[in-house]
Structures are given as C-alpha cells and as structure tokens.
Amino acid sequence: MKDFLLLLLGSIPRLFRTRAALEAEILALRHQLLVLQRTSRRPQITAGDRLFWSWLSRIWPGWRDALIFVQPETVIAWRKRKFQEYWAKLSRHKGPGRPPIAMEVRELIRRISELNPDWGSPHIVGELGKLGLEVAKSTVEKYMVRRNGPRSQGWKTFLRNHLRDLVSIDFLIVPTARFKILFVLVVLVHLRRRVVHINVTENPTAQWVAQQIVEAFPWEDAPTFLLRDRDGAYGTEFRRRVKNLGIKEILIAPRSPWQNPYVERMIGSIRRECLDKVIVLDEGHVRTVLKAYLKYYHSWRTHMALDQDCPEPRQIQPKELGGVIAVPDVGGLYHHFERRAA
C-alpha cells in the first residue's frame, strides 16, 4: 500500500508535463526495456545505445530521472568520448596542419640570427621573403637563436671595421754570419696585411724609430691607431713624433704578444719562409733579401685571411692567356705561376 501511494504521488508532477517531455520519457523507458530484454544478466551496451543516450541527454533535460540501467556519469563520459572522436575524424579528413619546415630553412634561420644578433623575428621574416622563402613569424621565433640579453659584437667584427685605421709595429732580431745582431723594424697595416715599411739597424734608438714612422707615412695618410709593445726603443722622441702625426698609441700588456697578432704572424712568416733559409751577411744583404721576399709576399703569395688572395689583389688569369709557367722568387726559394702566351 505504501509503494502504491509513493507511485501515485510521484505521478502527480507528470500530469503537468509537456507532450514532448512525456514522449521523450516513454522513448527512454522503452529503449531500456529493449536493452534488458536482449540480455539475461548484465545489460550489454552497444555503440547504438551509447549514441542514443548521448543524443537524448542533449535534447531532454529530464533524462537523468528516466535512466535506470547505467549511471548518469556513464552517459556523460559517452558524450565526451563521442565529441573527441568526432573532431579527431574531422582532423583526419582535413589532412595535416602546417607543412614541415625543411632542415635547410631551419639552419638558415639560425645562421641569420647568429650573424645578425640585433635582428628580431620580423626582420628575419623580411630577409627570408627576399630570398623567396615564405616563413611564418612564429616559425622564425621557434628556430632562431635565443639570447638572455643583447649580444656584443665579436672581436673579428670589431677589428674588421677598424682595419683601415690600425697599424702594428714590432722588431725582428736577425743574427749575421759574424755573430752580430741586427734589428729589423716591421710596420704592418692591418688592412690586407701590407708591410708599408721595413728597415734594418744595429742600434734602434728612439730617434731612429721615430724617423721610420715618418718615412712609413710621408703624406697625410697616417693611421688613427698604432699598436705596439712596451719595448724601451719607443722612447720620448718616438712618442712625441707619433703624437704630432695625430696617431694614438695602443700598448699591449707586458709579455702578451698575442695581443698584437697580425705583426707577430707577419714576423713569423718572414722567419720561416725567408730568413731561416739564408745566412745573413750584413745590413745590405738582409735588406736585399727582405725586399725580394716582400715583393713576392705582396704580389704572389696567397693569404687565407684574404680569401686566398694576395695583399695586392691578384687577378684571375683565364685559360685563353696561354700555358702555365713557373717564375722564381726570392732567389729561387719560391715560385709563382702565371699564364703566358707561347
């Protein structure tokens, strides 16, 4: 009797429902009845059953009250899974997203950002566009080199921008056949590694060294900076003459020849390629030998730092000029090769 009264009281709100809600409830109850009839113990839920309840839960607010054979959370989980499957299917039909970025383009983005540390992604995008490469800004930001702060220019860049105004000087010691010591002063312009002046003496006084600087730059072409070590030969007279020429001296640290690398490398080349292969007799002899070597060095000897060119630019000779012949230099120590007509 109690159960009958509860059922009767529960049916009173249903008298005020709309026809659509009643039809939805009848449909839900009949579907559950069919599911229970086709199984003996535990209800066997099919894909169609899941689809039905996922659809019903979207259009009927009272679907939870009519649900008996599973929990409401189960239906919600069915609907979420169906939603994921739906969008996964759409994604597969549309194919992949952005086309992959070629490895060459990635390396180019890294290289551009490394060589131009001040460039942002929009600048790199514009540069790639001029090279015929259409790349998104987000792609450039993904592959460009990232830095914690502004990057300083490298020493190579700094020196390259000041080569025209930099000159180095240093002494080279040469023993003679009679066991005398000669001092060779080398004045090297960093631009294209040219030796603009060289001279020999037994007694390198400050006045003599100052006169060599004047002879090296006789006209109004004196450099801005002069790089040298702290040798005592660069005395008061030398410093006064250099200052009058408008040249600023830059002194390297004590016992630090690596801070004056260009002229040190030049002196090493003179030693290895010339003076170590001859016996120096006197001042006149060493001047003659060095003059011949410098003529070969400037006009014919290729230099790695100059992209395999010479300090005095050497023209490429086409095959039409004739055959290749060898011409001796520095008394036959070296030979250069050029094309001449037969």
**Claim to verify: residue 171 and residue 294 sit in the same structural domain:** yes
Q: Average of pLDDT values for 265-275?
A: 94
Total Cβ atoms within 10 A of residue 120: 13
**Claim to verify: residue 16 and residue 57 sit in the same structural domain:** yes
**Claim to verify: residue 124 and residue 263 sit in the same structural domain:** no
- The residue among 291, 307, 301, 312 whose CA lies nearest residue 337 is 301
Q: Is the pLDDT of residue 158 over 60?
A: yes
**Claim to verify: residue 7 and residue 118 sit in the same structural domain:** no
- The residue among 274, 89, 70 whose CA lies nearest residue 184 is 274
Q: Average of pLDDT values for 175-184?
A: 94
Comparing 99 with 239, which gets the higher pLDDT? 239
DSSP result, 211-263: HHHHHHS-SS---SEEEE---TTS-HHHHHHHHHTTPEEEEPPTT-GGGSHHH
Answer yes or no: is 339 within a domain. Answer: no
Distances (CA, A) of 175 to 196, 286, 293, 294, 333: 23, 10, 18, 20, 20
Give the relative orientation of helices 283-299 and 261-273 as an angle to the nearest 10 degrees. 110
- pLDDT at site 263: 95
**171 φ, ψ to 5°?**
-105, 145
Answer yes or no: is 151 within a domain. Answer: no
Give 284-325 pLDDT, tens digit per residue: 999 999 999 999 999 999 988 888 899 999 988 888 888 888
pTM beyond 0.85: the answer is no
- Residue 118 confidence class, pLDDT cut points 50, 70, 90: confident
Q: Average of pLDDT values for 164-172?
A: 90
Comparing 198 with 127, which gets the higher pLDDT? 198
Q: Is the pLDDT of residue 232 over 80?
A: yes
Answer yes or no: is 340 within a domain. Answer: no
Q: Is the pLDDT of residue 95 over 60?
A: no
The answer to whether the Cα torsion of 127, 132, 136, 141 is positive or negative is negative
**Claim to verify: residue 37 and residue 122 sit in the same structural domain:** no
Q: Is the pLDDT of residue 6 over 50?
A: no
Domain count, the chain: 3
Find the domain containing 49 and state its range.
2-94
Q: Is the pLDDT of residue 62 over 70?
A: no
330: region left, alpha or beta (phi > 0 left; psi from -120 to 50 alpha): left
**Claim to verify: residue 236 and residue 294 sit in the same structural domain:** yes
Answer yes or no: is 226 within a domain. Answer: yes
**Claim to verify: residue 136 and residue 252 sit in the same structural domain:** no
Q: With b meaning 16 or more CB within 10 Å and e meaning fewer, what string describes 268-287?
A: eebeebbbeeeebeebebbe
**Claim to verify: residue 223 and residue 268 sit in the same structural domain:** yes
DSSP result, 60-89: -TTHHHH--SS-HHHHHHHHHHHHHHHHHH
Answer yes or no: is 186 within a domain. Answer: yes
CB 200 within 8 A of CB 170: no
**Claim to verify: residue 283 and residue 167 sit in the same structural domain:** yes
- At which residue do the structure tokens 């395999």 appear? 308
Q: What value does the mean pLDDT of the chain take?
A: 81
- pLDDT at site 299: 93
Comparing 73 with 37, which gets the higher pLDDT? 73
Answer yes or no: is 154 within a domain. Answer: no
- Residue 268 confidence class, pLDDT cut points 50, 70, 90: very high
Q: Average of pLDDT values for 151-165?
A: 67
Answer yes or no: is 10 within a domain. Answer: yes
Answer yes or no: is 65 within a domain. Answer: yes
**Claim to verify: residue 41 and residue 189 sit in the same structural domain:** no
Q: Is the pLDDT of residue 7 over 50?
A: no
With 0-12 / 13-18 / 19 or more C-beta atoms within 10 angstroms meaning exposed / middle / buried, residue 172 is buried
- Residue 203 confidence class, pLDDT cut points 50, 70, 90: very high
CATH classification at residue 319:
3.30.420.10
- pLDDT at site 311: 93
**Claim to verify: residue 27 and residue 130 sit in the same structural domain:** no
**Claim to verify: residue 77 and residue 214 sit in the same structural domain:** no
DSSP 39: -
